[in-house]
A and B are shown apart, each in its own frame.
Chain A
Amino acid sequence: DTEVTQTPKHLVMGMTNKKSLKCEQHMGHRAMYWYKQKAKKPPELMFVYSYEKLSINESVPSRFSPECPNSSLLNLHLHALQPEDSALYLCASSQGAGRYNEQFFGPGTRLTVL
């Protein structure tokens, strides 16, 4: 199984809502990532979890809260978002660090904040 899955595919939320994005992989990868991608721009790294510990936080606002319940799952909790947070949110995973560290991306969750 060489797939990263993400749910939901689409999400529309108001600025006062609380919602969560979910990501799952069963490749035995030990690093998982959240990216944000705006239209016609490359993905921007938000968070990295390595061996279930947060290893990189790219100064993301606290209204985004990541969680890694186990090595296969990664969540992104959303609260009090702004319309400018509307974007494609991508999850990725990789084996770990080192030479064989290709990142494999999921299909993304398209988020619209009203």
Chain B
Amino acid sequence: QKEVEQDPGPLSVPEGAIVSLNCTYSNSAFQYFMWYRQYSRKGPELLMYTYSSGNKEDGRFTAQVDKSSKYISLFIRDSQPSDSATYLCAMRSIQGAQKLVFGQGTRLTINP
């Protein structure tokens, strides 16, 4: 079993829809959680970073962490074609501060 599980998709939704992307993890030592967006043939771009259970909002993006269920989510409201990309969840522990563990990435397409 992988430490971090993420549905690779692909996921295709119409413009304006609410998108939900999810990751589950098995290592209870993970304390810090990130979402990266990666456009084709580009480097990952940090979207959200959180270290506590609950919700964190930034514009159209909301990151949700449930440590008791070992489950994190990224919600995208009012999705735009420019949101079409691969979304990677990543997480790390305090001890493994420099080692990110990535999910497989979900490929998302927003259709105009």
Contacts and interface: CB of A to CB of B under 8 A. Distances in A.
Interface residues of B, number: 23
Contact of A45 (B8, B49, B100, B103): B100
B98 A33 contact: yes
B23 to A, nearest CB: 11
A104 B92 CA distance: 15
Interface residues of A, number: 28
Contacts of B105: 40-42
Contact of A99 (B32, B42, B45, B88): B32
Contacts of A105: 36, 43-46
A9 to B, nearest CB: 10
A90 interface: yes
Interface of B: 8, 32, 34, 36, 41-46, 49, 51, 88, 92, 97-100, 102-105, 107
